Amino acid sequence: MELNVYLSGEIHTDWREQIIQGCQEHDLNITFCSANTNHDESDSAGDALGNEDKSFWRDHKSAKVNALRTNTLIERCDIAIIRFGDKYKQWNAAFDAGYCAALSKPYITLHSEDIIHPLKEVDAAAHAWATTVEQVVETLKYISNN
Amino acid sequence: MELNVYLSGEIHTDWREQIIQGCQEHDLNITFCSANTNHDESDSAGDALGNEDKSFWRDHKSAKVNALRTNTLIERCDIAIIRFGDKYKQWNAAFDAGYCAALSKPYITLHSEDIIHPLKEVDAAAHAWATTVEQVVETLKYISNN
Amino acid sequence: MELNVYLSGEIHTDWREQIIQGCQEHDLNITFCSANTNHDESDSAGDALGNEDKSFWRDHKSAKVNALRTNTLIERCDIAIIRFGDKYKQWNAAFDAGYCAALSKPYITLHSEDIIHPLKEVDAAAHAWATTVEQVVETLKYISNN
Amino acid sequence: MELNVYLSGEIHTDWREQIIQGCQEHDLNITFCSANTNHDESDSAGDALGNEDKSFWRDHKSAKVNALRTNTLIERCDIAIIRFGDKYKQWNAAFDAGYCAALSKPYITLHSEDIIHPLKEVDAAAHAWATTVEQVVETLKYISNN
Amino acid sequence: MELNVYLSGEIHTDWREQIIQGCQEHDLNITFCSANTNHDESDSAGDALGNEDKSFWRDHKSAKVNALRTNTLIERCDIAIIRFGDKYKQWNAAFDAGYCAALSKPYITLHSEDIIHPLKEVDAAAHAWATTVEQVVETLKYISNN
Amino acid sequence: MELNVYLSGEIHTDWREQIIQGCQEHDLNITFCSANTNHDESDSAGDALGNEDKSFWRDHKSAKVNALRTNTLIERCDIAIIRFGDKYKQWNAAFDAGYCAALSKPYITLHSEDIIHPLKEVDAAAHAWATTVEQVVETLKYISNN
Amino acid sequence: MELNVYLSGEIHTDWREQIIQGCQEHDLNITFCSANTNHDESDSAGDALGNEDKSFWRDHKSAKVNALRTNTLIERCDIAIIRFGDKYKQWNAAFDAGYCAALSKPYITLHSEDIIHPLKEVDAAAHAWATTVEQVVETLKYISNN
Amino acid sequence: MELNVYLSGEIHTDWREQIIQGCQEHDLNITFCSANTNHDESDSAGDALGNEDKSFWRDHKSAKVNALRTNTLIERCDIAIIRFGDKYKQWNAAFDAGYCAALSKPYITLHSEDIIHPLKEVDAAAHAWATTVEQVVETLKYISNN
């Protein structure tokens, strides 16, 4: 089964690469996509459209240019993996989860045990919760191979 | 114009009461609704369905019982106000924002200037950003009176 | 919070009446609706449209006349309660559950522990699983009162 | 006409293989897909995500991992074939039928005459009812060849 | 059960009045609506918007003004009754049936036996077929009373 | 521009072949599809599923088997051409038009001037009305070439 | 027939008042709604949310606050009247027309003959074109009274 | 990331060619499409369907034939670029923007600073505003390359 998987969330660790590599080792027929994970590029995505004095508007323009990509990618994907790390607010990951839930796009959350409680609403709408990259790969392998 | 407004997010301050009272002072024709804001009640919403040893499943059951309410309330509302305070993760607020965005339900965010950057994706899909309760009341008054 | 609740499934016990009475005792603002639970009336719902020699077509006509009601009722409801008893196939209850799931109508299943395994797909898409009528009433009370 | 056909239901007989082989003999341009029909694999689909003491949660996790596959497959298919055998509850088959009905995905039921009555609601929303694999193949051949 | 019923089709007999009266005699809680059944008024519905030399455009304008009503009424109704008499083409009735089918609005057809064959596609998507007004009233009574 | 065009309606003349040939002569990138236009095959489409004594049920079964094809084809098409000839009732053509209209699938009607009046509702929802096959080819050529 | 009518477009003449008064004279059961037609209030709708140096962002904030109202009003309305006067760009009126068209909300355009050509796409998706307020009132009266 | 981009609006300058060429220079994987930009051809798109004396109906027929193309193209696109020049009314561009907004298709507006005010509603629903072709190319490059 061919799958299109969207990887959302934490950008400061290499969890995306680990999942992609893990799936390649099993020769799974999966196409991965993602928001731009280069922090500086992402923050300046709207700069080409003109400078802004206020940080709110600079962020606003960049967030919307990035949304041009991510809305399209989420619409196209079959499944999303949503990763919450132990740093930063990561509200965009929770936003993506809510967006997927409303569109009935199934998603898997990936986070450690110590943030179960604040993520309970996000997990409640998920199809699965994983704590390790290996579990995500194993689950994608199961879905993809059958 | 009669409005149905959903109040999402922070439960440790009285921002909901302030908005409701502010709108009452202007005699606005607005019905407010909200997730259960009593922390303990909310956390134990699923306990009647049987005890769980693992905190994940206790949280899971309670979150889903609460979702029975909130999904219905979000579907019914015209506008949502989504509040981010300066404490806690508040991923459920960001989740609600994403859910509203995908359903094309317009929402207003309410948060201080110092969290503009981590909320840029949530704000990018919002119809307005307010920093004070007074601004929210003023905006609802404008919408409701015209 | 006013609710419209659809009661689906088993018709040979009085679980509907128990739920309705339990909610009345708590003065909950809930309107209940249901498929026709009179077995003979339900089976003969299409007889007025002409007799059929084959049982398949008699059943077919009656099932479609009943579907005129139930489709409309499910579309209107906020929440469904789906009951599986220990007798009969009750495929219509599972059908209603799938129908609700695809429409993103949240539902609560009501069944005993010994049929957890065959109902795992139905429960997986549910917002809650209850084993007793009291648990359903308690959950509706929670949703309705907050 | 190229078709994508989803095969839902009974996993203890070889009706799937018979349909696939029958269609191959007629060189039909049909891609078949299905939930995982290996009972043990299906039941343990969620085990990689951590052990559970309670059977409900083990089933729950596996059912949701399987739903990641089946929701996606049902969304993609043009037509579903839904098989009810003479053993087991097969509520997941009825659930899939309801899911298809709500999404306006046409489906064909495959079951013997003696369970017409309990399946009347499921059949009422179907586009066809077959009693033999040959009838299903014949119908797919007709649809596919014209 | 309160119902909103749309009456579509033949305008040269009093089948609408018969159904309405029949339902009133049973005190059913049904609101009926309909396209304008006054032939001349209906044909001239667009005349106020300016005269047309070509009959095509006169018909076009009137048909669209009538569609302003009928689209709205069909969107609002729970069930449609679609009547085919023995005279005239009545393509608008078949058009309404297709419109309802695509919107998943259930409908009942009302026509005599001698036009079964040309109406087979319209009947195939219907929830019921009646040959007499009494049967329609009986069916509405069943739906409404339970 | 590549197009997928559904041809609905009259089956007793060769208008389909004329349109297909006309488009081939202009090398247009169009895929055509259609309901089964072989009258006898279409009427017996459901016979493989078992004999029926009543003509209503034979027609019903065949119409539903054909609907398995046509629903899928209409969902997939970009544009429909809907043809009304001067014989027979052709209610299925009007049904397809209503179905397309509700799905916002644009369609072109093809019929002579003398049936403008009974087709006014069907034409009102159309994107174009043609009286000759050449006009349809010309319009498809325009759409396809630009 | 009770109607909810949204009045969009030109704000520098009293066409809204004329339509409302004309409908009142006929005692029509119509509720009218509209974007804020006070130019200064509309332009400053977002000012309460903080000052902006750049006119783009001031306009942006006000336009989005107004959209909170107008999106909700358009979602609720049955029919829209869209007015183009002879001055100003009035792109928001054309935007509302496109928005209605995509939602399948029927609308009537109101404009003089000399702007037929630039409005041809907007008129092509309309259900009616009127040149005078009287024609709009007459059409609403027809729709409402039948 | 492969993209399908719809170019809407002004037809009297070569902004489309500039964007297409700019993207080709960066080897972006983008397919562009557009309404027919040949003014005369577009105005006569419906002429093949018969002559009209009134300019309204000639425009109407051509606009609808063009809509056959543009509706299909907008449905297929991932992103739209909507261009407003300094001449003409360009209501069709604003109409397309509203159409995209209601379908949740993201779009970028392209216009100079001096028409910020009349375009504020159109810009409010956009994901980005550009004043030069280079900015559009830069943004598409960012979206496409990441």
Residue B133: what pLDDT? 98
**Closest to C94 (Cβ–Cβ): which among D56, D66, D91?**
D91
DSSP tag of H33: E
pLDDT tens-digit readout, G54-67: 999 999 999 999 99
CA distances from A70 to B94, B115, F27 (A): 16, 22, 38
Give all strands of the β-sheet with H79-83 in edge-to-edge order: H30-34, H3-9, H79-83, H107-110, H128-130
| Minimal C-alpha gap between D113 and chain A (Å) | 32
Q: Write the secondary structure of A70-86 as one string of H (helix), E (strand) and C (coil).
A: HHHHHHHCCEEEEECCC
| Minimal C-alpha gap between D133 and chain F (Å) | 11
Contact criterion met (CB < 8 Å) for C127 and B73: no
Contact criterion met (CB < 8 Å) for D36 and A3: no
Contact criterion met (CB < 8 Å) for B128 and G68: yes
What pLDDT band is residue G53 in, cutting at 50, 70 and 90? very high
Substitution target in F100, F143, F144 with the highest count of H β-carbons within 10 Å is F143
For A68, which residue in chain H has the nearest alpha carbon? H106
Contact criterion met (CB < 8 Å) for H129 and A48: no
Q: Shortest CA distance to C135 belongs to which of B40, B62, B61, B46? A: B46
Residues of chain A with Cβ-Cβ distance to H128 below 8 Å are 46, 49, 61, 64-65, 68
What pLDDT band is residue D87 in, cutting at 50, 70 and 90? confident
Contact G74, G97 (CB under 8 A): no
Is pLDDT at E146 greater than 90 in this prediction? no
Buried/exposed C33-62: b ≥16 CB within 10 Å, e otherwise = bbbbbeeeebbebbbbbbebeeebbbbbbb
Residue type (1 letter), C93:
A
Residues of chain H with Cβ-Cβ distance to F146 below 8 Å are 36, 38, 41, 69
Other C-beta atoms closer than 10 Å to the C-beta of A104 total 13
**Closest to D139 (Cβ–Cβ): which among F38, F65, F73?**
F65
Q: Record the tokens describing residue D136, joined without a space.
A: 């299903």
pLDDT tens-digit readout, E122-143: 999 999 999 999 999 999 999 9
Residue G88: what pLDDT? 80
CA distance E134 to E144: 15
Beta strands in chain D (DSSP E): 3-9, 30-34, 79-83, 107-110, 128-130
CA distance G86 to C97: 56
Chain G residues with CB-CB distance to H under 8 A?
55-56, 59-60, 62-64, 66-67, 84, 88-103, 113, 115-125, 129
| Minimal C-alpha gap between A131 and chain D (Å) | 8
ipTM of this model?
0.96
Contact C5, C30 (CB under 8 A): yes
What pLDDT band is residue C88 in, cutting at 50, 70 and 90? confident
CA distance H111 to F141: 33
Contact criterion met (CB < 8 Å) for F116 and E56: yes
Is pLDDT at G46 greater than 80 in this prediction? yes
Is pLDDT at F146 greater than 80 in this prediction? no
CA distance B129 to B112: 10
Q: Which residue has the higher pLDDT, E89 or A10?
A: A10
pLDDT tens-digit readout, D93-139: 999 999 999 999 999 999 999 999 999 999 999 999 999 999 999 99
Is pLDDT at A87 greater than 90 in this prediction? no
Is pLDDT at G106 greater than 80 in this prediction? yes
Contact criterion met (CB < 8 Å) for G103 and H100: no
For C35, which residue in chain E has the nearest alpha carbon? E146
Contact: chain H with chain D (3+ CB pairs below 8 Å): no
Contact D60, D67 (CB under 8 A): no
Is pLDDT at A89 greater than 90 in this prediction? no
Going by their DSSP bridges, the two strands A3-9 and D30-34 should be labelled as: unpaired
| Minimal C-alpha gap between H21 and chain G (Å) | 28
Percentage of chain G exceeding pLDDT 90? 95
CA distance G9 to H98: 14
| Minimal C-alpha gap between E3 and chain F (Å) | 22
Contact criterion met (CB < 8 Å) for C128 and B72: no
Going by their DSSP bridges, the two strands G128-130 and G107-110 should be labelled as: parallel
Is the Cα dihedral H67, H72, H75, H77 positive or negative?
A: negative
Q: Record the tokens describing residue G123, joined without a space.
A: 């008129």
Residues of chain A with Cβ-Cβ distance to B66 below 8 Å are 121
Contact H84, H90 (CB under 8 A): yes
CA distance C24 to C30: 9
Q: Shortest CA distance to G64 belongs to which of G86, G42, G84? A: G42
Is the Cα dihedral B45, B49, B53, B59 positive or negative?
A: negative
Q: For D40-56, what is the mean pLDDT?
A: 96
Substitution target in A59, A64, A72, A75 with the highest count of H β-carbons within 10 Å is A72
Beta strands in chain E (DSSP E): 3-9, 30-34, 79-83, 107-110, 128-130
Residue with tokens 């996509």: A33
**Closest to B67 (Cβ–Cβ): which among A63, A97, A125?**
A125
Substitution target in F104, F132, F142 with the highest count of H β-carbons within 10 Å is F142
Substitution target in H75, H89, H96, H109 with the highest count of G β-carbons within 10 Å is H89
- Note the pTM of the prediction, 2 decimals: 0.96
CA distance F75 to F103: 8
For F116, which residue in chain E has the nearest alpha carbon? E56
Contact criterion met (CB < 8 Å) for C101 and D100: no
Contact criterion met (CB < 8 Å) for C139 and B61: no
Q: Record the tokens describing residue D58, joined without a space.
A: 């083990």
Residue-by-residue DSSP string for F8-19: EE--SS-HHHHH
Residues of chain B with Cβ-Cβ distance to C132 below 8 Å are none
Residues of chain E with Cβ-Cβ distance to C36 below 8 Å are 142, 146
For A146, which residue in chain D has the nearest alpha carbon? D36
Contact: chain B with chain F (3+ CB pairs below 8 Å): no
Other C-beta atoms closer than 10 Å to the C-beta of A102 total 23
Other C-beta atoms closer than 10 Å to the C-beta of D2 total 10
Contact criterion met (CB < 8 Å) for A106 and D50: no
CA distances from C84 to C67, C112, D11 (A): 19, 8, 22
Contact criterion met (CB < 8 Å) for B49 and C78: no
CA distances from E62 to E38, E49, E56, F120, G22 (A): 13, 9, 10, 8, 21
Residue H75: what pLDDT? 95
Is pLDDT at D65 greater than 80 in this prediction? yes
Is pLDDT at C146 greater than 80 in this prediction? no
Q: Helices D133-145 and F55-76: crossing angle, nearest 10°?
A: 50
| Minimal C-alpha gap between B93 and chain C (Å) | 18
Going by their DSSP bridges, the two strands B30-34 and B79-83 should be labelled as: unpaired
CA distance F45 to F28: 32
Other C-beta atoms closer than 10 Å to the C-beta of H2 total 10
Contact criterion met (CB < 8 Å) for B62 and A90: no
pLDDT tens-digit readout, C28-66: 999 999 999 999 999 999 999 999 999 999 999 999 999
Q: Where are the domains of chain C?
A: 3-144
Residues of chain C with Cβ-Cβ distance to E100 below 8 Å are none
Number of H helices, E strands in chain D: 6, 5
Contact criterion met (CB < 8 Å) for F68 and D127: yes
What pLDDT band is residue H88 in, cutting at 50, 70 and 90? confident
CA F75, distance to chain mean position in Å, is 13
CA E76, distance to chain mean position in Å, is 14
Contact B20, B46 (CB under 8 A): no
Task: State the chains in contact with H (3 or more Cβ–Cβ pairs under 8 Å).
Answer: A, F, G
State which H helix or E strand residue E98 sits in.
helix E91-102
Q: Record the tokens describing residue F95, joined without a space.
A: 């049904």
CA distance C37 to C83: 13
Is pLDDT at B74 greater than 90 in this prediction? yes
Contact criterion met (CB < 8 Å) for B127 and G67: yes
| Minimal C-alpha gap between H129 and chain A (Å) | 7
**F106: phi then psi, degrees, rounded to nearest 5:** -70, 145
Residue A80: what pLDDT? 98
What pLDDT band is residue A64 in, cutting at 50, 70 and 90? very high
Residues of chain A with Cβ-Cβ distance to D68 below 8 Å are 79, 106, 108, 127-128, 139, 143
Residue A131: what pLDDT? 98
Can you say whether residue C50 is alpha, beta or left, with left for phi > 0 and alpha for psi between -120 and 50 degrees? left
CATH architecture of G3-144: 3-Layer(aba) Sandwich (3.40)
Residue A26: what pLDDT? 96
